[in-house]
Amino acid sequence: MTVAGAGALGLSTALALADAGCAVTVCDPLDRGQASAVAAGMLAPVFEAALEAQTAPAFDILMAARDLWPGLEARAGVALDRSGTMAVGDEPWLGGVRGALGRLGVRGIDLPRRTAQALAPGLSEQFGHGLLVREDWRLEPRAALTALRKACDGAGVGWRQTAVEGVGEADWLVIATGAAQGPEQLAPELAALTPIKGQILRYLDLRGGGVSVRGEGVYAAPASDGLAIGATMEAGVRDTQPDAKAIEPLLRAATRLFPALEQATFGLAAGVRAATPDGLPIVGFSEAPKVILATGARRNGWLLAPLVAQVVAACVTGGEAGPYARRFDPRRFEGGA
């Protein structure tokens, strides 16, 4: 069995397949994933559903995916930060967030300014309080890729540093190639994907500590390799070149939250997310023989990875794919989006 792509989806899937007793080889011309390596690593079902109307209907799926992470933490040693995520902003915006949480059945914890500042060092004085949600977690993407790869090694997964161009001798080919363009010829369902470029800033001198913060049009993740501020959503853009103009709104929003960022230096990274018309991934059998799809996770690929892996493993073993597999059906866009 061949898995094309060594990002979050490919590695999680390879591990699930190997654990199910399959002989697996992962092929990727890179060794670190593409979007997966630059992501912020938030496992954020609540704020993703609360802040984005398109994502709200998928809240049940996102929560189910998050609930699979402790299993992957135990299996592969991927460390999870469960300290939570706090919304901070002007009162009308925060009121809207509170309302959205209520519609999801989640209660945020209102924190006074000083407590909010203790949880997010450097937070501006201009905000009266924060709204903490314990359900949203975080991981460190690069460390998680390393841990998943090590777990795959231990499970007997083989590696080839090459691009997959066809099914070849494989009994199954799992396409987990993110937003890459080459594999489109391997499965017609990949035509439903569009790219969304994401730029993310990293303040290398501001490491770790505190909870993740959600502001209006921005998030801040206190990663060990530098505070991550993200991320742009540049629909239809596929390049990974830095674009100073596109990050201006992000910078403005970030320095409103954390005024000291105005003087701080940052590095810029970009990745390309693969998105479907409904924002959910395409996971399952392709019309193309022997091909299974595991891509299109848009801005929640890390969060969704263990659920995607579970569905692919069920396809291969004939096991129970669970209640969400139908909503990932790769053929759901046939006849137009």
Ligand X SMILES: Cc1cc2nc3c(=O)[nH]c(=O)nc-3n(C[C@H](O)[C@H](O)[C@H](O)COP(=O)(O)OP(=O)(O)OC[C@H]3O[C@@H](n4cnc5c(N)ncnc54)[C@H](O)[C@@H]3O)c2cc1C
- For residue 273, state whether it binds ligand X (rule: CB under 6 A): yes
Considering beta carbons, is residue 86 or 117 the nearer one to ligand X?
A: 86
> What HEC string does 23-42 produce?
CCEEECCCCCCCHHHHCCCE
Considering beta carbons, is residue 115 or 240 the nearer one to ligand X?
A: 240
Which of the ranges 26-34, 112-120, 202-210, 242-250 carries the binding residues for ligand X, by CB under 6 A? Answer: 26-34
Which of the ranges 37-45, 84-92, 93-101, 116-124 carries the binding residues for ligand X, by CB under 6 A? Answer: 37-45
Q: Which of 14, 17, 24, 27 binds ligand X (CB under 6 A)?
A: 27
**In the complex, which residue's CB is closest to ligand X?**
301
d(CA 291, CA 286): 5
- For residue 69, state whether it binds ligand X (rule: CB under 6 A): no
Considering beta carbons, is residue 123 or 200 the nearer one to ligand X?
A: 200
- For residue 145, state whether it binds ligand X (rule: CB under 6 A): no
Q: Which of 1, 4, 64, 94 binds ligand X (CB under 6 A)?
A: 4
Considering beta carbons, is residue 56 or 163 the nearer one to ligand X?
A: 163
Binding pattern for the stretch 40-59 against ligand X, x by CB under 6 A and - elsewhere:
xxx-----------------
Q: Which of 15, 16, 33, 189 binds ligand X (CB under 6 A)?
A: 33
Q: Which of 9, 16, 116, 157 binds ligand X (CB under 6 A)?
A: 9
Q: Which sign, positive or negative, has the C-alpha torsion 272, 276, 12, 17?
A: negative
Q: Which of 30, 79, 235, 260 binds ligand X (CB under 6 A)?
A: 30
- For residue 10, state whether it binds ligand X (rule: CB under 6 A): yes
Residues 146-205 within binding reach of ligand X (CB under 6 A):
163-164, 176-178, 180, 182-183, 198, 200
Which of the ranges 2-10, 79-87, 242-250, 314-322 carries the binding residues for ligand X, by CB under 6 A? Answer: 2-10
Residues 292-311 within binding reach of ligand X (CB under 6 A):
295, 297-303
Binding site for ligand X (CB under 6 A): 4-10, 27-30, 33-36, 38-42, 163-164, 176-178, 180, 182-183, 198, 200, 230-231, 271, 273, 295, 297-303
